[in-house]
Structures are given as C-alpha cells and as structure tokens.
Amino acid sequence: MATATPIFPQTVKNGVITIVNATGTANVTSYTAGTSGAKIESWIVTSTDTSDRILNIWYNTSATNYLIGTVNIPLNSGNSTSVPTVDILANLTGLARDSNGNKYIYVSASNLLTISVTVAVTAAKTVTSFIQAGDF
C-alpha cells in the first residue's frame, strides 16, 4: 500500500499576459506547468476596456483546449476604485478548496491554462491576466 506523502510547490512562478485588440479572440497561454505539474493559487484579471468582456478559461492538454469556465470581466475592472479586480478562481464553480477554503487548480505536468475573449478588446485597451502559482 502506498504511503501518502504531502507535496509542496518547489518553484514560485507567475503567469502574466495581456490581451489587446490585435489578439482578437485567439487563445493565449496564461500559464504553463513545469515538468512535475503546478498548483494555481491565485488568478486575477484587470481591464482598461470601456466594455465588459467575456473571458473563456481553457485547460490545454495534448494540444487540445477544453473549456472549464466563462467569467464576465466588467469594464475598467481593477482600473477604477469603483470596479474591483476579478478573482477568476472565485468565479469558477466546482474547484477544489484548500484547508483555508481557498479555491485552487492543479495543472498536470507541461499542460497549459489559456484564455480567450469572445469579442476582441477595444483598440488601445487591455485585459491583463495575472497568475500566482507554484511548480512541483
């Protein structure tokens, strides 16, 4: 019988990307797990856009994207004191929770998390994704 051994992140990593008008609706890699996998502990998104954006969250394995959720990103999220930054993990249902009640995502070795918008971002505006994670 196997003995349970706790695992802890060994390398702290951040995934930061910005979606602009030229990105269109293409999938953009937000995070690539290391060779032993990763744990996503925080994922926030901000926007300078003057319109709300719908953000699709994808899990990519074996070069195939699988939709795991869709989150509304209100206009000016995190760019105005009246519109807070969007917590992606808090907005995805069905995720595991740690002992403190925080949601997280495990990402298998060398797999990716990608995002896309359903309508291109307005010219000269941005949607920025910031992930805090740890590779095992």
Q: What does pLDDT average to over the chain?
A: 95
At residue 119, the pLDDT reads 98
Q: How many CB atoms lie within 10 A of CB 74?
A: 15
User: In terms of C-beta density within 10 A (0-12 exposed, 13-18 middle, 19 or more buried), how is residue 20 classed?
Assistant: middle
CATH superfamily placement of domain 11-135 = Nucleoplasmin core domain (2.60.120.340)
At residue 1, the pLDDT reads 61
- What's the number of CA atoms in the CB half-sphere (13 Å) around residue 18? 10
d(CA 114, CA 38): 15
At residue 4, the pLDDT reads 78
d(CA 38, CA 30): 13
Instruction: Please list the ranges in the chain whose pLDDT falls under 50.
Output: none
At residue 90, the pLDDT reads 97
Alpha carbon 44 to its chain centroid, in Å, reads 7
At residue 10, the pLDDT reads 86
SS3 for 51-109, per residue? CCEEEEEEEEECCEEEEEEEEEECCCCCCECCECCEEHHHHCCCCEECCCCCEEEEECC
Do 50 and 34 meet the contact criterion of CB atoms below 8 Å apart?
no
